[in-house]
Amino acid sequence: MNTMLNLRKYHYVRGISIFLVMAAFIAAIAGCAQPPYSYSLSIASTDGGSVTTPGQGTFTYPVGTLINLVATPNAGYQFADWTGDVGAIGNVYAAATNLTINNDYSITANFVKQYDLAAGDRHTVGLKTDGTVVAVGWNAFGQCNIDDWMDISHVAAGAWHTVGLGYNETVVAVGWNVSGQCNVSNWTDIIQVAAGSWHTAGLQFDGTVVAVGNNTCGACDVGSWTNIIQVAAGGSHTVGLEADGTMVAAGSDASGQCNIGNWTNMVQVATGDWHTVGLRADGTVVAVGDNSAGQCDVSGWTNIVQVAAGGWHTVGLKADGTVLAAGSNGSGQCDVGDWTDIVHVAAGGLHTAGLQSDGAVVAVGWNYYWQCNVGGWDLN
């Protein structure tokens, strides 16, 4: 009898022990901090623009989500940088970049008054912060006749024509119009313009693209493009940067300048006469097309925040305000090694121009038509 009572007592105690152990185990699990399955992303902007992708406010995303960020400036402003929890941002100096969600983040897009600088084949154009424009260089086709332009927010320079985007999202153009590249007066809702040798492209607010000018090689066949955030126009080709960081191209591919179908994580594109240059979110650079002068030898570049492509050379602006260049240097257009405090670069046919943070402009290269005579410019 005692044996049976002891056995029952044993099983009772054993059952209680197991119950207590399991209860403690469950309590321990419940008390452990489990990693969250989602995080919040708070996005804001300063005066002068807004974050158009994915928008502004606070969003919740699953862990590991890749978020495309696009900051769009208002007329008269330009994007400066991202601040806040920027460690996960691909390129803090790029208006179009990305961020991978691995924590809670709060970021801000910063905008400043807009400067702009463009270089054509033989002329240079500068946009002042008051919306007026200055130009020097060859003016045989009237490409420098911009003295009456006002309320301009962006400029582009083709081989022999100049294009200006107004605050009201309409476009003006002067210069050689043999192929209709200046026929832009009916364009509306434009947020960015690009000028090639014989054609002009315009990015519309809805992400579509329009183009006019010489279409012999199909450079103007951009009517089907969507979700574009930047366009560039080269000698006979046009390239568009899509919101997801990929690229599309139209026009001549004679030198492989349109072989950009496998590019990803791009934040900016520039086009020369026969080559195309892309800036990645991580600050590295890729290039395809004619490399006869070494203009595509950019694979070792890092910490780049802007690229420009000229006739046969490529220029890269670094985050520290210094400048790199590759390609033809027969006219000294790549002699930029001593430049400092640069915030924007432009590459022309055989010359290079740089805008300094104080509004002054420097230029090197071929100066036969005085396209480098920018020493007295103050774009403030």
211 and 240 share one domain = yes
SS3 360: strand
306 and 157 share one domain = yes
Return the pLDDT at 15. 55
Mean pLDDT along residues 148-167: 95
Residue 376 forms part of a structural domain: no
SS3 304: strand
183 and 258 share one domain = yes
Question: Confidence band (pLDDT; 50, 70, 90) for 197?
Answer: very high
Residue showing tokens 């006869």: 292
Distance between CA atoms of 334 and 289, rounded to whole angstroms?
A: 19
152 and 60 share one domain = no
Mean pLDDT along residues 118-126: 98
Question: Confidence band (pLDDT; 50, 70, 90) for 37?
Answer: confident
303 and 207 share one domain = yes
Taking the model in full, what pTM does it have? 0.80
Mean pLDDT along residues 20-34: 51
Mean pLDDT along residues 349-376: 97
Least confident of 2-16, 100-114, 351-365: 2-16
- Residue 146, domain CATH: 2.130.10.30
Strands 361-365 and 266-271, by their bridges, are unpaired
Return the pLDDT at 244. 86
Residue 335 forms part of a structural domain: yes
Give the total number of structural domains in the chain: 3
132 and 210 share one domain = yes
SS3 4: helix
User: Quick check: 134 pLDDT over 50?
Assistant: yes
100 and 118 share one domain = no
Last residue of a domain, one of 81, 110, 139: 110
Return the pLDDT at 375. 94
Which residue, 369, 377, 312, is CA-closest to 344? Answer: 377
* Max Cα–Cα distance, the chain, nearest Å: 121
45 and 20 share one domain = no
Between 88 and 248, whose confidence is greater? Answer: 248
Residue 379 forms part of a structural domain: no
Return the pLDDT at 19. 54
Last residue of a domain, one of 62, 81, 110: 110
- Write the Ramachandran bin of 213: left for phi over 0, alpha for psi from -120 to 50, otherwise beta: left
Distance between CA atoms of 323 and 85, rounded to whole angstroms?
A: 27
Which residues are 317's β-sheet partners?
306, 323
- Tens of pLDDT, residue by residue over 182-196, are 999 999 999 899 999
Last residue of a domain, one of 94, 110, 126: 110
177 and 81 share one domain = no
- Tens of pLDDT, residue by residue over 233-262, are 999 999 999 988 999 999 999 999 999 999
259 and 361 share one domain = yes
Mean pLDDT along residues 83-108: 89
Mean pLDDT of all residues belonging to the chain: 91
Distance between CA atoms of 104 and 36, rounded to whole angstroms?
A: 10
The answer to whether the CB of 282 falls within 8 A of the CB of 252 is: no
Segments forming the whole domain that contains residue 69:
38-110
Residue 159 CB partners (closer than 8 Å, separation 6+): 120, 121, 176, 196, 197, 198, 349
227 and 352 share one domain = yes
54 and 98 share one domain = yes
Distance between CA atoms of 147 and 162, rounded to whole angstroms?
A: 12
Residue 10 forms part of a structural domain: yes
Here the tokens at position 115 are: 């400067």
Mean pLDDT along residues 156-172: 95
**Residue 325 to residues 93, 137, 239, 304: CA-CA distances in angstroms?**
19, 22, 21, 12
Residue 141 forms part of a structural domain: yes
Mean pLDDT along residues 313-341: 97
User: Quick check: 7 pLDDT over 50?
Assistant: no
Residue 380 forms part of a structural domain: no
Residue 377 forms part of a structural domain: no
User: Quick check: 21 pLDDT over 90?
Assistant: no
